[in-house]
Structures are given as structure tokens and as C-alpha cells.
Amino acid sequence: MQRPLESAQYASRVYVNRLREVGITPSMSRTGNPYDNAKMESFYKTLKTEEVDLQEYVDLEDAWRHIDAFIANLYNRRRLHSSLGYVPPAEFAARYTAPQM
């Protein structure tokens, strides 16, 4: 007997219809393409190894506070990203949206 894909529940008609009912557009990778979600997988790996695995949260609210601070202060403002030319996302965005002279 073949084992079902672990992500199959996210493609179920019931799940997708419920997302649409509440105004969420589902985003699915193409079958067999491991690169569609590579950026988010990389982000989650970083979040887990540089924040979540190093903390013991008191409760869900404490986790939200710490994770929000990690993303806003470290990940977006100080952490260098190779895909952005080794600058933080906030600096990259500022350069990109700055008026051209």
C-alpha cells in the first residue's frame, strides 16, 4: 500500500473551500517542484534555529512577542541575506524604493 503524501490534507477540497470561505487564497506548489517554496522553507529554518530552538516561551503570547521581535529587529534589520547582496531586507527595501537621482 502506497503511503499518501504528507501535504495531501492541504489540497483537500474541504480545506481549500474553507480557506476561500474566509477570504484566503490557497498557495500550492506545483507537483514535484521542490523550489516553489524554497524561500519560505529557508526562512522557517532560520526562525527555528536562530530563535525558537533557543527559547523557552512562557505561553503563546510570549512566543508571539519573541518571534515578532526576532523578525522585526534581527531578521529584517540586522541579518544579512545573501540573496539580497548581503544586506538586511529593510535596507534592501529602502534602497529599492528610494527616489532615483
Model confidence pLDDT, tens digit, residues 31-66: 666 666 777 788 889 999 999 999 999 999 999 999
Residue 13, pLDDT score: 82
51 and 85 inside one domain: yes
The predicted model gives 20-28 an average pLDDT of 83
Same domain? 51 vs 73: yes
Length of the chain: 101
Contact predicate 58/47, CB 8 Å:
no
Q: Answer whether residue 2 is part of any domain.
A: no
Rg value, the chain, Cα: 18
Q: Is 22 in the same domain as 46?
A: no
Based on the fold, state whether residues 63 and 26 are members of the same structural domain.
no
- Dihedral of CA atoms 34, 72, 52, 6 in degrees, nearest 10, equals -30
pLDDT in tens, 62-81: 999 999 999 999 999 999 98
Domain range holding 27?
7-31
Domain count, the chain: 2
For residue 9, what are the contacts with CB-CB under 8 A and spacing of at least 6? 15
